A and B are shown apart, each in its own frame.
Chain A
């Protein structure tokens, strides 16, 4: 089966500009996650969707970050305006499982590397 697709792979922008990332999860996967990963560290959860509804966005900096998952399939993550500290890899992951139980089938995309200069 096809994996989680993310684009673009790389993006360089100046601070205060805006940027958007796109994610296409594995077909049929109900749960979608966006993570921010600083080089050499573990991913930090930004937002979790179940179908097209937000389950958890407690760590999303809502003054500058926004995300949506229209029709419960593709998702976009936007940053506006970007800051230097937003430089990181943004990972998208999907899973076929619901909110309860042990979970399985987590698959990550290759990520988008963002550099803010």
Chain B
């Protein structure tokens, strides 16, 4: 069974701080996706990383795919209250299955 371990599960920080969320697995994925989900809504895709070692930036968010395509990280610079939400990583298997980690609940206090 392929599993994705996300850490930390909860994060409460002050506005302006930096943070990193990790997503780890013992399995290789054909791609790794990051989503953000707000209460009462479905997950919204932020980014897809495909190549080992790939780094993508989305404004203050930086996403990295591990060299072996088994792990990924999300780094937020100067967090803002609008970044509050549930962050989910998801790995796509070679059969097209999309498996999610447990999620990281981020609270950014003004």
Contacts and interface: CB of A to CB of B under 8 A. Distances in A.
Contacts of A43: 43, 88, 100
B32 to A, nearest CB: 9
A41 B99 CA distance: 13
Given A40-B103, A41-B103, A110-B40, A99 B95 contact: yes
Nearest to A40: B105
Q: Which of A42, A50, A102, A113 has the most CB of B within 10 A?
A: A42
Contacts of A41: 102-103
Interface string A88-102: 000101000111111
Contacts of B92: 102-103
Interface string B1-42: 000101000000000000000000000001101010000111
A28 to B, nearest CB: 16
Interface string B40-54: 111111001010000
Q: Which of A41, A100, A110 has the most CB of B within 10 A?
A: A41
Given A102-B50, A103-B30, A42 B97 contact: no
B104 to A, nearest CB: 10
B30 A42 contact: no
Nearest to B51: A102
Contacts of A35: 100
A103 B96 contact: yes
B69 to A, nearest CB: 10
Given A99-B95, A101-B30, 16 more contacts: A31-B96, A35-B100, A40-B105, A42-B6, A42-B88, A42-B102, A45-B97, A45-B100, A56-B97, A91-B43, A93-B98, A103-B48, A103-B92, A103-B98, A104-B48, A110-B40
Q: What are the 7 A-B residue pairs with the smallest beta carbon separation, nearest first?
A: A108-B42, A102-B31, A42-B100, A99-B96, A102-B50, A42-B103, A103-B92
